Amino acid sequence: MTSEDETSPLADADSDTGLLPDAECIDLLSSNRRRILLRALVDADEREHSLESLAATVAQTEQGTDLADVATHRVGVSLHHVHLPKLDDAGVLDYDRETNTVRFYGNDRIETWLETMRDD
């Protein structure tokens, strides 16, 4: 078997497995803000997070410094309207829009892709 014939360790799975296909993982991780968010969730000891705390973490990581409330607010709006719903729709995390609460229980495929796409 040649290397071209080998299946990627993250190869597209059939719908019976419930795993995200490679193309969807890549799409979800195409945004630097989503990668920062997911790395923060993966590295956290807790599984439940407030939108406010995640926005502050993402904003600080993006800027590399303490931030004004306005920057954190902008990130929070972006997370609330774009990034968290996209990740929730894909089944990567649970986002409760009413309580602005995020629950993340881990996702092996996303975590493997995050490692291969490491920015630092």
Over residues 28-64, the pLDDT tens digits come to 999 999 999 999 999 999 999 999 999 999 999 998 7
Q: How far apart are the first and last CA of the chain?
A: 34
Q: Which domains does the chain have, with CATH numbers?
A: 22-116 (1.10.10)
> Which of the residue ranges 48-52, 75-79, 96-100, 107-111 would you say has the lowest mean pLDDT?
107-111
* Residue 83 and residue 93 in contact, taking contact as beta carbons nearer than 8 Å: no
Tokens describing residue 101: 């609460």
pTM of the model: 0.79
